[in-house]
Structure 1
Amino acid sequence: METRVAIIGIIVENTDSVDKLNGILHNYGKYIIGRMGLPYREKGIHIISLAIDAPQDITSALSGKLGKLPGVSAKTVYSKLKGKTEDEV
């Protein structure tokens, strides 16, 4: 199956959703390349940048689940580079 590298930008405005957000990210951990979180205290929000390498349907599912959490917004940007899963190499 083809994979694509993508960045998911996440804005957390409701800290009550953080435990569920972290649970979702844990479930998708095998696809996550890296994660960076920045608290923006002046605005009372948290900004998370998530780099992943996964099949497009997995990436879409992850982004959708995150975006459905109360007070959480998520948007995805895909690279043009396509690859194969480790099972196919």
Structure 2
Amino acid sequence: MDEENMTKSEEQHLSLQKALQQCELVQNMIDISISSLEGLRTKCATSNDLTQKEIRTLEMSLQVMCSHVLMIAASSDSPVDKPVGG
């Protein structure tokens, strides 16, 4: 079915599916980064400058990825993602 002939409901469903896929992808990246960060903090000498830099880099990446998930959720048309009263 081409996009010109889609109903509003079908468009919303497709949009939500795409948003969910994006969130799942970003969540997988978050999980990998968290695992790496935990490894750096527990298995490496955190006093090492390179280790500290890598920890800061991973922490910033996690913030960006979490923000990305929130933006995807906020931009979706799903009433489930909207705050109460919003």
Higher normalized strand content (fraction of residues): 1
Q: Work out whether the TM-score is over 0.5.
A: no
Q: What interval of TM-score do these two structures reach, taking the shorter chain for normalisation?
A: 0.3 to 0.5
Structure exhibiting the larger radius of gyration computed from Cα positions: 2
TM-score (ref. length: structure 1): 0.33
TM-score of the pair, normalised by structure 2? 0.34
Higher helix share: 2
| Structure showing greater relative contact order (alpha-carbon pairs closer than 8 Å, 6 or more residues apart) | 1
